[in-house]
């Protein structure tokens, strides 16, 4: 028997201390680099986007990769690339991340949600957005660890 999976993830993580360092002009380079990491790991990217202090990635996880290992690889490699290319005035990524799974029929709405991050954050703070996601997925959290 073969192994079959279809796991659609929505990954969110921030810059350390929510530094607003991911300036718009450098984000396409960062996003393309992260896409390359996902391709190397045989994951499928559906959408990546973000604003100055955090990013969202919608992807399917390959069955041979653990989520924790993938996030670690993305953070380590992208941190090095950002510093080597002097892409942003960037300290580091935050410790930890948030990840949510969705059914495949939610994919199009999720892609649109991530696509429209700039507009969304004109009205909603990252903190409010993250708390809303955690509440929607009924994930217990301590607010002091969020920010």
Find, among 130, 141, 136, the residue nearest to 18 by Cα.
Answer: 130
Measured in whole angstroms, the distance separating CA 140 from the mean position of its chain's CA atoms is 20
For each of the domains in the chain, give its residue range(s) and CATH number, in order of start.
8-146 (3.30.70.1290)
Q: Is the pLDDT of residue 114 over 80?
A: yes
What's the rounded Cα separation, in Å, for the pair 146 and 93?
14
Q: Is the pLDDT of residue 109 over 80?
A: yes
- What is the share, in percent, of the chain residues with pLDDT greater than 90? 80
Average pLDDT over residues 39-63: 97
Residue 20 has pLDDT above 90, yes or no: yes
pLDDT digits (tens, 9 = 90+) for 64-100: 999 999 999 999 999 999 999 999 998 999 999 999 9
pLDDT the model gives residue 81: 97
Q: Tell me the pLDDT tens digit for each residue of 1-13.
A: 788 888 899 999 9
**Cα-based distances in Å from 25 to 30, 49, 88, 130, 137:** 10, 13, 9, 24, 33
Nearest alpha-carbon partner for 56 in 79, 74, 77: 74
pLDDT of residue 147: 67
pLDDT at 6 (0 to 100): 86
Phi, then psi, of 78 in degrees rounded to 5: -70, -35
Which range is least confidently modeled, 35-39, 77-81, 120-124?
120-124
- CA distances in angstroms from 126 to 14, 35, 55, 67, 77, listed in the order given: 9, 23, 10, 22, 24
- The residue ranges of DSSP E strands in 65-146, in sequence order, are 98-102
Rounded CA-CA distance 129/55 in Å is 12
Q: What angle do CA 96, 79, 38 make, to 5 degrees?
A: 75
Average confidence (pLDDT) over 25-42: 98
């Amino acid at each position: 028997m073969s192994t079959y999976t279809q796991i659609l993830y929505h990954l969110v993580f921030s810059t350390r201390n929510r530094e607003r360092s991911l300036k718009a002009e450098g984000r396409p380079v960062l996003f393309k680099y992260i896409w390359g990491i996902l391709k190397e790991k045989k994951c499928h990217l559906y959408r990546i986007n973000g604003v100055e202090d955090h990013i969202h990635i919608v992807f399917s996880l390959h069955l041979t990769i653990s989520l924790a290992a993938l996030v670690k690889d993305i953070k380590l490699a992208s941190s090095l690339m950002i510093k080597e290319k002097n892409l942003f005035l960037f300290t580091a990524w935050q410790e930890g991340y948030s990840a949510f799974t969705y059914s495949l029929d939610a994919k199009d709405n999720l892609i649109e949600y991530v696509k429209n991050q700039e507009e969304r954050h004109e009205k909603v703070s990252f903190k409010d957005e993250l708390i809303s996601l955690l509440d929607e997925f009924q994930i217990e959290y301590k607010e002091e660890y969020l920010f």
